[in-house]
Amino acid sequence: MKHVLRGHTQPIRAIAISCDGARVVSGSKTVRIWNPLTAKKDNVVEGHSKEVSAISVFPDGSRVVSGSSDNTVRIWNTSTGQIELVLKGHTGRISSVAVFLDGSRVVSGSFDNDVRIFNTSSGRTENVLSGHTDLVLAIAVSPDGHQLSSGSADKSIRVWNISTGKTKYVLNGHSGSVIAVAISPAGNKMVSGSIDRTVRMWDLDTSQNEHILYGHTGWIRAVAVSPDGAKVVSGSDDMSIMVWDSFSGQAV
């Protein structure tokens, strides 16, 4: 262990790291921006009236987006700690946020069952993606910015065409809420994790379920894909992390 970053006085519910590794951002009721090399706080950001439930860092590291149980999404300047935009429209807790690779748009998923796409220049809602019949719990944006995936308590994953705002696929198979999704760097594969204790791998070109990964004995809380797309990682309530071969679906 190199550093322990202390300062929060409430439970930390969200964390993110910038692409260049120069900043770590954490959220409780406040958002804190840290220098991981020195373990010093760059900024303490206050504005949300309830706990922060989701955080993402813009690809260039200049801004941070946070979602909260106060139903708002906020964009902050990482250097000054000042609020740049307050994005409103959701009527439920924000469960997840993501930033487009070019930084032009922010996406949020909410307990109001909707996904919203916001323009980061104007702060206006560009689109509301409706279709889920229960809480939206996880979202992921493809690297090319053309597709978006959302996982829900309705047990489904929806793949959306961002240009039209329409559902491209509804992926069914999980027998419980889908609480984690990730898209491969190539943008053609997706991974989902569920309270049904399975990880599923999907082909986004065909909508086919390629693999069902068994091994965890608890809810799957987090999934990720390696930069080369060859490995999938899953984290579970069973206190284990599993690494899988994305081609064979076997545990490594």
The predicted-structure confidence for 176-192, as pLDDT tens digits, reads as follows 999 999 999 999 999 99
Residue 134 has pLDDT above 90, yes or no: yes
Are the CB atoms for 60 and 54 separated by under 8 Å? Answer: no
Establish whether domains 1-95 and 131-252 are of one fold. Answer: no
pLDDT on residue 1: 56
* Cα 8–chain centre separation: 22
Q: Which fold has domain 1-95?
A: Neuraminidase (2.120.10)
Strand partners, 230: none
Mean pLDDT of 75-100: 94
Q: Which two tokens stand for residue 58?
A: 């813009």
**Cα angle, residue 97 at apex, residues 138 and 31 outer, rounded to 5°:** 125
- Domain layout of the chain by residue ranges: 1-95, 131-252
Helix intervals (H) in 133-174: none
Which CATH number does the domain 131-252 belong to among 3.40.50.300, 3.50.50.60, 1.10.510.10, 2.130.10.10? Answer: 2.130.10.10
Q: Which two tokens stand for residue 131?
A: 């279709």
Which is more confident, 217 or 34?
217
Q: What kind and span of H or E run contains 178?
A: strand 178-183
